[in-house]
Structure 1
Amino acid sequence: MRAVTGLWRWRHNPLRRTTDLVEAWVALVAALALCLAVPAAGWAAGAAAQHSLQRTVHAQQQGRVETTARVLRPAPVAPGAAASSDQAAEQRFRRAVVARWTAPDGTSRTGTVTTSRAASAPGDAFSLWTDRDGRPVAAPLARDTARAHAVLVGLMTAVLAGAGVELVRRLVMRRLRCRRYARLDRAWAEVGPDWGRTGAGS
C-alpha cells in the first residue's frame, strides 16, 4: 500500500526526481512479487515435490513386501571393533541380530538385520521389509511423510524467494541512493564555492 501511495504521490509532483519515481516503482513491483510471485513459486515447488514423492511412495510400495522375521541369536561382533559415535547411538535403540524370514517367493532366508532392543531376544518376532528378491530393505516412505516433506519444500521455496525479492529490492534502493548522493555532491561542488557570496546569485 505504501508503494502505491508513494507512486501516486510522485506522479505530478514538481519536486519529483527520476530516482524518486524509480524507487516507487521498485517498491510496487517488490510488493506485487511478495504477494503473488512468491506464493506461486512456493506452491509450484511444493506441488512438484508432492508429485515426485508420491511416485516414489508408489514405487516403493510396489517393490517392497512386509513380512515377519524371528530372531535366532544376537549378531556376532568382530573382536576389537570400535564402534563409531553414530553406531553407538544407534545401538542404544536398535541391535543387530541374526533372524529368519520368508521371502516373497516362499523360501526361507536367514541373515543379519537390525531390530529394536525390545525385539532382540531369541524367538522374538518383528516386522521386516524386503524387496521382491527377499533382501532386507528400509520401510517404504509413508504418504503422510511425503506430503509433509512436500509442504516443507514449498514453504522453504517461498521463504527463499521472498528473501531474494527483498535482497534485490534493497540492492536496487542502495544503488539509487548512491546515485542520488553522487548527484547532490556534484551539484554542491558547482554552487558550493559561491554559496552566500554577494553577486553570486544566491
Structure 2
Amino acid sequence: MRAGRNARKRLWRWRSNPLRRHDDVIEAWIVLAAGAVIAVGGTVAGLVTAHTADEVFARQRAERQPVRAVLVTDAPASGPATWGAGTQARATVRWAAPDGRVRTGPTLVDTGSKAGTGVEVWQDGRGRLTNPPTESTEAAVESAVLAIGAAGAVAALTLGAGALARWRLDRRRIDSWGQEWDLVGPRWGHKTG
C-alpha cells in the first residue's frame, strides 16, 4: 500500500487535477526528458569514449616498436628527482630507424650507464623516440575512467540544463502568482499592519 502512495505522489504532475498548471506538465516533461538523456546519452557517450580510447591505445601498441640503441654519452650517476623516473637520467642514444637511417636523440636510461651500453628504446613508425605503449590492462582501466567521465559530463550538463529550465519555470510561476495577487489582494478589503 505504501509503495502505491509513493508512486502516486511522484506521478502527481501527470494525473488530471484541477490544481495542475500548464507549467507543472512542462516541468514533468523536463524531468522525464532529462532522465532519458542521462540514461541514454550518458550510456552512448561512455561507450563511444571507451571505444575511441581503446582504438587509440591499440594503435599505439601497433605503431610503437622496441628497438636496441647504444648509449653515445655516459648517463649521470644520479638523475634529477622526477616522478616515476628516480633511478633514470637523460642521455643521448643512437639507433636505427625503420627506414634504415641511423639517428641520435635523448632518452631516459638507468643512472650511471656508460657510453657503448646497449639499451632498449621505443620508436614510432617514423623512427622518432617515444614512450612505451600503454599496456592492455592499464589501457582498459584508462578507457573505463574516460568513459565514466564522459557519462558524468553528459549527466552534469543535462542536470544543469534541467535545473535552469526548472528555475525559469519557477520564476514564471512566481511572476504569475504576483499578477494574480495584484488582482485579488485589493478585493479582500483590509490590509495588515
Please give the TM-score of this superposition, normalised by the length of structure 2: 0.72
1:174 counterpart = 2:167: yes
The offset of 1:105, in angstroms, is 7.4
Asked whether the 8 Å contact 1:30–1:169 carries over to 2, the reply is: yes
2:113 matched residue in structure 1: 120
Question: 1:125 deviation in Å?
Answer: 3.2
The answer on 1:25 being equivalent to 2:1 is no
Which residue matches 2:68? Answer: 68
Tell me, yes or no, if structure 1 residue 138 matches structure 2 residue 142.
no
Letter in 2 for 1:68: R
* Residue pair 2:73, 2:114 contacting (<8 A) in 1 also: yes
Instruction: Please name the residue that 2:149 is paired with.
Output: 156
Inter-partner Cα distance in structure 2 for 1:122 and 1:116: 11
User: Contact (CA 8 Å) 1:46, 1:154: kept in 2 or not?
Assistant: yes
Q: Give 1:9 shift.
A: 5.2
After superposition, what is the alpha-carbon deviation per residue over 1:122-158, rounded to whole angstroms, capped at 9, x for unaligned?
Answer: 454321234577x551144235244343323322210
Normalising by structure 1, we get a TM-score of: 0.69
SS at 2:147 equivalent: helix
Task: Quote how far apart the aligned CAs of 1:103 are.
Answer: 5.6
Report the Cα offset of residue 166 of structure 1. 0.2
Unaligned 5+ segments in structure 2 are: none
Contact 2:13 2:28 in 1 (8 A): no
Identity of aligned residues (%): 28
- Contact 1:70 1:101 (8 Å CA) reproduced: yes
- Provide the C-alpha distance between the structure 1 equivalents of 2:115 and 2:94, rounded to a whole number of angstroms: 11
Report how many residues are paired: 181
Instruction: Give the superposed CA RMSD.
Output: 3.5
Unaligned stretches of 5+ residues in structure 1:
77-86, 198-202
